[in-house]
Amino acid sequence: MKTRAFLGLTAALGLAALAGCSNDPYFVNPITTVYDAVFKGKQKPTALTQQQILQTLAATDLPVAFFDVADRDSQTLLIQIETNGPYRTFATATRQAVVMRDGMITGTRGLGGDLMSVDEGPLLDLVRARGTGDVVYIQRFLTPEDITEVLTYRCGVEPDKRVDVAMGLVNTPAQEMVAACESPDGPPFVDYYVVDPSGQIVASRQWLGRHIGYGAMHMLQR
């Protein structure tokens, strides 16, 4: 009887330990966290419905953007939460953020493999002016070692076709711009930007690095 009670106690203790518990709010349970990372690591594909978009636009006057990462089958709505000079931070409710300057993505946070910062000046100027030319563009990432990796690209920029944009509450004629970029340090990519007459980028498909791949952005409310 005693042995059985002891075995029971031992088993209970073992289970509790495996589950891991603590009264410390900052406690990270190594087992369950690793389990989550291994078995729940892949995000489920998310698709937005027309309904969700309409609800969000009705609920806020703040700028809203649609954001899609093709490689991850992930779609989300971003709402502007902060501005700092020309930079605007858009975020989801789960604190994933995309920073844009005049509609060009200059950083991401919380996506995994984040684009930490860029030197976008010459590229942005040329895209906004809807001009043709060659410019230098720099992207910065963290490596898994936590070292900043700097990729210097040379981008050939030129206008493509004219389009009429009608997305959400944004209705405007616009010019498509193409930037083809190459670097000795990283993979080549081709970005598309849709620029309105005032020089604002209202939609884009932009390379956000090896880990994220291409991100597509459509401004739905400005």
Partner 1 sequence: MTAGAVYRAGRIGMAAAIAGLVALSGAAAEEAIPSFNLYGQPGLIDMPTAEMAPDATLGLTYGRVHDSNRGTLIFQITPRLIGAFRYTGIQNFNHPSSVDGVYYDRSFDLRYLLFTEGKIRPAVAVGLQDFIGTGIYSGEYVVATKTLTPGLKVSAGLGWGRLGSYNPIATISTRSNDILGTGGVPTYDRWFRGDVAPFAGISYAPNDRLSFKLEYSSDQYDEETRSGGFEHSSPINLGMDYRLKNGAQFSLYYAYGNTLGAQVTFPINPKTAGSPGGNETGGLPVKRRAPGDARDLGWTMALDSAEASTQQRLISSLEREKLEVEGFDLQPQRATLRLRNPTYGASAQAIGRAARVMTRVLPASVEEFVIVPSENGMPMSAITLRRSDLENLENDAAVEMLARTSIVDAFGRAPKSDLTEYPKFTWSLTPYYSYSTFDPQNPLRIDLGARLSGSVQITPNIVLSGSVKKKLVGNLDQITRVDESKLPRVRTNYGYYAREGDPAIDTLTLDFYGRPGRNLYSRLSMGYLEEMYAGVSAELLWKPVDSRFALGAELNYVRRRDYDLMFGLLDNVTTDPVSGIKREIPDVNGHVSAYYAFGNGFHGQLDVGRYLAGDYGATFTVHREFANGWRIGAFATFTDVSEEDFGEGSFDKGILITIPLSVGIGTPSRQSNTTVIRSVQRDGGARLNVSSRLYEQVRTWHEPNVANSWGRFWR
16 belongs to the binding site for partner 1 (CB under 8 A) = yes
CA dist., res. 94 & res. 110, Å (int): 9
The one among 97, 129, 163, 180 contacting partner 1 by CB under 8 A: 97
Q: Are 197 and 182 in contact (CB under 8 A)?
A: no
DSSP label at 46? B
| Contacting partner 1 within 132-191 (CB under 8 A) | 140-148, 150
Residue 117 binds partner 1, judged by CB under 8 A: yes
Q: Which residue has the tokens 């970029």?
A: 181
* Contact code string over 17-56 relative to partner 1, x by CB under 8 A: xx-xxxxx-xxxxxx-xx-xxx--x---------------
Q: How far is the CB of 221 from partner 1 (least distance, A)?
A: 19
Task: Determine, following the binding rule CB under 8 A, whether residue 106 of this chain makes contact with partner 1.
Answer: yes
- Of 63, 107, 168, 215, the one binding partner 1 by CB under 8 A: 107
193: nearest Cα among 181, 175, 209: 175
- Rounded distance, CA 190 to CA 160, Å? 13
Contact 137, 150 (CB under 8 A): no
Backbone angles phi, psi at 110, to 5 degrees: 85, 10
Q: Tokens 């419905």: give the residue.
A: 49
Residues at the site binding partner 1, with contacts judged by CB under 8 A:
10, 13-14, 16-18, 20-24, 26-31, 33-34, 36-38, 41, 81-85, 87, 89, 91, 94-97, 99, 101, 106-107, 109-110, 112-114, 116-117, 119, 140-148, 150, 211
